[in-house]
Amino acid sequence: MYKRDFLVLFFTCIAAYFLGACQANGDFTGREYMPDMTHSKAYEPYVEGRTVMIDGDSVQLFPNNQAALKPVAGTVSRGYVPYYFEDTAEGYEEAGRALVNPLDAYDKTVLEQGKIAYEINCAICHGAKGAGDGPIVKSGAYPAPPPSYFREDILVLPEGKMFHSVHYGKNLMGSYASQLTKEERWKVIAYIKNMQAEKIAKDYKVSIEDAHQVALGKKPIPTEVTEETTDEAATEEAEVSTEDSTSATGEE
C-alpha cells in the first residue's frame, strides 16, 4: 500500500520536473513534446519561407510563398460542370431556350424531393402553394412580394429561365446556387412546373400531359375555357384553388 503511494508520488514529481522544464524562459523558447502535432505536416495556405533542399540548394517550394495555388488555367474540379449562361438579359433568354430539365418531371421521388427542397428554401416567400404569399410576405417585412406562380407569364415561364433565376437570383430574390445543387434545383423546378400543370389542367379542363406542355411553354394556353373560368379569374383564383388541384386528373 505505502509502496504504491510512494511510487505515484515519485513519478508525479519526475513528470512535474520535466514539464516545468519545457516552459519558455528568457531566450529559451521552450521544449516541444510531440512537435509533429504542433507543426502540421499539411502546408498552411499562406506559409512563409517553405523551402526544400534540392542538390544542396535551398529552393522555394511555392511561388510567392503561397501553398494555396490557383487551379491550372482551363481546368475544373472533377464532377463540376460550369454554368455557361451569363448573368445578363441575353443569358436569361438563351438559358430559357437551351436548358431542359434533365430529370423525369413525372417521377414521384423527384417531385417528393423537390417539394421538400421547395418547402425549406422557397415557401417562406413564394408560399406553400406557390401563390406568392409566404410568411415573410404576409408579415409585411418583404418590400416586393414575389409573383404568384400562377400569374400568366410565370405559369408558362420556360424552365430554363426558372433555373437561370434560381442560379443567379433575380432582383430581390437571392441566388440559390450555393444552397442547392443543380440536381436539387431541377427537382424544385419539376415540383413547381407540376403545381402549375395541375392548375392548368384544372382551370382549362385539359389532360395533365397537355397541361405540362402548356406550363413548359410548348403549347399555347388554351383559349377555350369551359365553365365560367376566364384567364383573369384563373389568376385571381390561384391563391385559393390550388388546395384541391391535386385531384385534377384531366380525364374529364
Contacts of 80 (CB under 8 A, 6+ apart): none
Does residue 124 touch ligand HEC according to CB under 6 A?
A: yes
Is 50 or 218 the residue whose CB approaches ligand HEC more closely?
Answer: 218
Exactly one of 105, 131, 155, 166 binds ligand HEC (CB under 6 A); that residue is 166
Adjacent-strand bridge partners of 60:
51
Is 110 or 154 the residue whose CB approaches ligand HEC more closely?
Answer: 154
Q: What is the DSSP string of 214-239?
A: HHTTSSPPPS---TT--HHHHHHHHH
Q: What string marks each residue from 6 to 35 as x (binds ligand HEC by CB under 6 A) or -?
A: ------------------------------
Is 176 or 204 the residue whose CB approaches ligand HEC more closely?
Answer: 176
Exactly one of 85, 150, 176, 186 binds ligand HEC (CB under 6 A); that residue is 176
- Dihedral over alpha carbons 160, 165, 167, 168 (to 10 degrees): 140
Query: Which amino acid makes up residue 82?
Result: P
Contacts of 63 (CB under 8 A, 6+ apart): 69
Is 100 or 172 the residue whose CB approaches ligand HEC more closely?
Answer: 172
Does residue 206 touch ligand HEC according to CB under 6 A?
A: no
Q: What string marks each residue from 129 to 158 as x (binds ligand HEC by CB under 6 A) or -?
A: ---------------x-xx------x--x-
Exactly one of 165, 194, 196, 242 binds ligand HEC (CB under 6 A); that residue is 165
* Cell 481546368, residue located: 75
The count of other CB atoms within 10 Å of the CB of residue 115 is: 19
Does residue 172 touch ligand HEC according to CB under 6 A?
A: yes
SS3 content of the chain, % helix, strand, coil (to 5): 45, 5, 50
Residues at the interface with ligand HEC (CB under 6 A):
121-122, 124-126, 144, 146-147, 154, 157, 161-162, 165-166, 170-173, 176, 180, 188
